[in-house]
Amino acid sequence: MNKLKLRNMLDSFLLEDIGDQDITSEAIFPENQTGKGVFIAKEAGTLSGLDIITEAYHLLDSRIEVKLHFNDGDQVNQQDTIAEVYGPVRHLLTGERVILNLLQRMSGIATMTSKAVETLNDPSITICDTRKTTPGLRLLDKYSVITGGGKNHRNGLYDGVMIKDNHISYCGSIAQAVKKARAAIGHMVKIEVETENEEEVLEAVQAGADVIMFDNRTPEEIKAFVSLVPDSIITEASGGITLDNLAAYANTGVDYISLGALTHSVKALDISLQVNDGEKK
Q: With b meaning 16 or more CB within 10 Å and e meaning fewer, what string describes 35-47? A: bbbbbbbeeebbb
What's the 3-state SS for 68-82? ECCCCCCEECCCCEE
Instruction: Quote the CA–CA distance of 127 and 137 in Å, as a whole number.
Output: 20
CA dihedral 130, 134, 138, 141 (to 10 degrees): -80
Instruction: Quote the CA–CA distance of 75 and 107 in Å, as a whole number.
Output: 10
Burial of residue 189 (CB within 10 Å: 0-12, 13-18, 19+) is: middle
Residues annotated as catalytic are 97, 132, 164, 194, 215
**Residues 50, 82: contact at Cβ < 8 Å?**
yes
Instruction: Quote the CA–CA distance of 174 and 142 in Å, as a whole number.
Output: 29
Residue 28 corresponds to which amino acid?
I
